[in-house]
Amino acid sequence: MEVPWLASFILVTVQFTLRAVSTAVNCPINCTCDYSKPTGDASCTGLTVDCQGHPGIDSEKFTEQLDSLLSSNLTYGRLTSLKIVNTTLMHVPRSVCRLKTLIKLSLDGNRLTRLPDNCLCNLTALTKLTASRNRITHLQDGLFDGLHNLRTLWINYNQISSIGLRVFNSSSMLTSLRDVQLKENRLTTLEPWPYLVGVNANMSNKAYVDLSSNKISVFTNMMELKLKCGMKPMYVDWKLEYNSIRHNL
């Protein structure tokens, strides 16, 4: 005799098991994947890939597996939050550059030596970007162009020794940026770009720029920023501790 509720229970269990197996296959080997899904939705809006610094992960294979995961129906076109942390990742996969729904992107604790051209500028919904504890050496012009919603940028504990003159200037249209952290890098000079971050803020909600523990010894103005009467005031808290500042040029 058929028991309707038992048949339904078995069907639901099988469907759940298949979904779990599919998810497990998609996650890169030796890593954990934490998915956030809206109730009743098969796709996810949040994903954390954490390899916990596992020493036996091949970088190329990991990137291929990550590309496959981020191009799958489970994630593509739905993600608003993505964290890829504590991995052997050496470059940002192109699949990340196509996730135009992202609001938050964390790339902390990897092996990145640079952030890619013509990639992050596609993610115009981003409000927060972090890439701390990598090996990034330079921030090139055009890197953040058009990210008018970006409020928070943290790239601490890297090896950044230079920043392109257009990274933070007005043509980049970083009109919401209020929190920039570049502490524990290798900057030796400082252009007046923090002024352009400060003009996005106001008296009751100041911007924040942390450049502590670099090697800054002089202020420069190769950006040719000209201060004059009537310019919009800036409201910014700077941190410049543990540098070697001597004088202004």
Helix (H, G, I), strand (E, B) or coil at 174: coil
Give 144's DSSP letter.
T
Q: Is residue 17 part of a domain?
A: no
Residue 3 in domain: no
Average pLDDT over residues 59-85: 91
Whether 34 is in a domain gets the answer yes
Does the pLDDT value for residue 1 go beyond 60?
Answer: no
> Average pLDDT over the chain, rounded to whole?
88
Look at residue 236 in the predicted model and tell me its pLDDT.
Answer: 95
> In the chain, how many domains are there?
1
Q: Is residue 19 part of a domain?
A: no
Least confident of 17-21, 101-105, 112-116: 17-21
Residue 20 lies in a domain: no
Q: What is the mean pLDDT of residues 10-16?
A: 39
Confidence of residue 40 (pLDDT cuts 50, 70, 90): low
DSSP class of residue 202? Answer: B
According to DSSP, residue 72 is labeled S
pLDDT band of residue 55 (cuts 50, 70, 90) is confident
- Give the pTM: 0.86
CATH of the domain at 153: 3.80.10.10
Comparing 159 with 74, the larger pLDDT belongs to 159
Is 21 among the domain residues?
A: no
Q: Categorize the per-residue pLDDT at 230 as very low, low, confident or very high, splitting at 50, 70 and 90.
A: confident
Say whether pLDDT at 101 is over 70.
Answer: yes
The range of the structural domain enclosing residue 164 comes to 27-248
Segment 72-94 shows an average pLDDT of 91
First-to-last alpha carbon distance for the chain, in angstroms, is 91
Could you give the CA distance from residue 133 to residue 53 in angstroms, rounded to a whole number?
12
Q: Is residue 133 part of a domain?
A: yes
